[in-house]
Amino acid sequence: MPGSRRPLTPATSPTTATLGYGLFATRWLQAPLYFGLVVAQGVYVYKFFNELWELIRRCVSGTATETSVMLAVLKLVDVVMIANLLIMVIVGGYETFVSRIGLQGHRDQPEWLSHVNSNVLKVKLATAIVGISSVHLLQMFVDVHHTPRHALLWGTMIHMAFIVSAAILAFMSGPMTRMGRPPREFRGQGCGPGNGSGGPPAVHSAVHSAVHSAVHPAAHPAVAEAGRPAGTAPLPAATAPLPPGTPAGSLPLLPPGGPAATAGSPPAGTAGVPGTVVLPAQPVSLPSPHEAGAEDRIRAARFPARKLLEEFDANHPRFLDRDREAVARLGKLDFVAARRNVVFVGPPGTGKTHLAIGLGVRACQAGHQVLFATATDWAARLAGARAAGRLPGELAALDAYSLLIIDEVGYVTFDADTTQLFFQLIAHRYERSSLIVTTDRPLDRWDEIFGGGPAPAMVDRLAHHAGIVRLEGDSYRLRGATYPWAQ
């Protein structure tokens, strides 16, 4: 049937699904183990205060020497470090292997928990063990006159073994955490906030052609046929005509998994930019299917430039502490799974668009479908759909995207009819999918942007399940601006 989409994987049978859910539920067998570690934590609390009381008693009675005080303090430090190790195992292990704890937004959420995963947890545990071993070895050297020589030798060798093991584990976890990232030739070079170009990627045309054929097999029939599994039909080319009445320059709605409509287009920010560095042709290895799919989603999202969260200059805008922590938590993308919204509020040039694009790119890499456009482009798209009499169908088509990004709200005011369109978009996605909005005005001043009745109701639905991050400071773009007459 023309236009129909064939499933890429066979449907899972009810029996297989039930078996899978049953196996997945066995993770709760680990929960009592973590509660047992909580009891062990209580034992160490008792041991700490017991050692502390003994130290105080000796000091008061005058029987404590400098060496005994130092050894007692090292014992206390040892107990605290082991307790810290238990906390990381209990909280991080439960969060990673059993169930999410749901600390998003909690003011006491540990910083390390915002980016915990199995690799990070293993490295932190290895580091903690090295620290505990260091304290034990220091205790031996402090009390060297009462420590056998062979004990010092074995203690030093064991400590060095811990250090080597931790170094190897940290080295091995580095490539593992980079497995899901796009290859270097795809990464943008910009490092400042905003949606301005921060420097075009240096890619030779031959390299770009080879990479493009790997990432977009639909644009290269030979590659597409070679990479298509036997017994499956070739994927139809995705097309997305502009709706009638849509102004030129507005963004076409691309269906998920249909980046073929963008085949042949150069990376954002490279076309017509002078000063592009040209590298000699070099062999290009084909990206993994996960990376290729991520690149397809990133291209289909129509970001104006490639921006990564890691490139954001967090020292430029003036964050409140809670907002800085909120940005770190947003990088885990829990808000997308929870169907919550994010609103970045701040003056121009403080990095709102950079953060929005960075979260969008990370969502694409995590397997989510994302679509980016400015507020004026969204207004044109929705107005064109309404003029064509298919606004409900347009809103339903946008349900295929887990995340929509509305950029630059507040730079242009909208009339009552356009306000009604934005209300329908936000109300349609309320508690169903996520939105990221960047604006230069707080939500209580959006009546200055949107005219007409539904503006308060629109703000109410947007802010109900939203994380609001405020950025302050001068424009990042103007910070590096120079003028000929100022030389």
Q: What is the pLDDT of residues 54-103, one digit of tens each?
A: 999 989 998 888 888 888 898 898 888 888 888 888 888 887 788 877 66
Give the domain CATH number at 457: 3.40.50.300
Residue 209 sits in the same domain as residue 173: no
pLDDT recorded at residue 87: 86
pLDDT recorded at residue 143: 80
Mean pLDDT of the chain: 74
pLDDT recorded at residue 185: 40
Residue 429 sits in the same domain as residue 281: yes
Residue 173 sits in the same domain as residue 213: no
Stretch among 31-35, 122-126, 455-459 having the lowest mean pLDDT: 122-126
pLDDT recorded at residue 174: 60
Query: Quick check: is 243 in a domain?
Result: no
pLDDT recorded at residue 106: 58
Query: Quick check: is 121 in a domain?
Result: yes
Query: Quick check: is 269 in a domain?
Result: yes
**Percentage with pLDDT > 90 across the chain:** 32
Q: Looking at per-residue confidence, does 149 or 203 come out higher?
A: 149
Backbone angles phi, psi at 207, to 5 degrees: -65, -45
Residue 165 sits in the same domain as residue 253: no
Q: How confident is the model at residue 440 (pLDDT cuts 50, 70, 90)?
A: very high
Residue 294 sits in the same domain as residue 367: yes
Residue 158 sits in the same domain as residue 260: no
Residue 336 sits in the same domain as residue 216: yes
Stretch among 45-59, 161-175, 235-249 having the lowest mean pLDDT: 235-249
The answer, yes or no, to whether residue 210 has pLDDT greater than 50, is no
**Percentage with pLDDT > 70 across the chain:** 64
pLDDT recorded at residue 439: 95
pLDDT recorded at residue 127: 82
pLDDT recorded at residue 118: 64
> 289-301 and 352-365 are packed helices; what angle lies between their axes, rounded to 10 degrees?
140
Q: Mean pLDDT, to the nearest integer, of 281-297? A: 60
Say which residue the tokens 């907002």 belong to: 323
Query: Quick check: is 232 in a domain?
Result: no
Q: Looking at per-residue confidence, does 99 or 345 come out higher?
A: 345
Q: Mean pLDDT, to the nearest integer, of 103-112? A: 61
Count of domains for the chain: 2
Residue 172 sits in the same domain as residue 319: no
Digit-coded pLDDT (tens) for 361-372: 999 999 999 999
Residue 262 sits in the same domain as residue 319: yes
Residue 123 sits in the same domain as residue 209: no
Contacts 24+ apart (CB under 8 A), 93-102: 93/30, 93/34, 93/121, 94/30, 94/31, 94/34, 96/121, 97/27, 97/30, 98/27, 98/28, 98/30, 98/31, 98/34, 99/27, 99/28, 100/334
Query: Quick check: is 116 in a domain?
Result: yes
> Where do the H-state alpha helices sit in 338-408?
352-365, 375-387, 391-397
Residue 435 sits in the same domain as residue 297: yes
Burial per residue of 307-318, b for 16 or more beta-carbon CB atoms within 10 angstroms, e otherwise: bbbebbeeebbe
Do you know the residue count of the chain? Answer: 487
Range of the domain at 361: 205-226+249-478
Query: Quick check: is 152 in a domain?
Result: yes
| Selection from 144, 121, 143, 124 nearest residue 132 by Cα | 124
Residue 173 sits in the same domain as residue 212: no
> Where do the H-state alpha helices sit in 143-183?
149-177
Query: Quick check: is 409 in a domain?
Result: yes
Q: Looking at per-residue confidence, does 266 or 337 come out higher?
A: 337
The structure tokens listed for 98 are 């059993």
Query: Quick check: is 197 in a domain?
Result: no
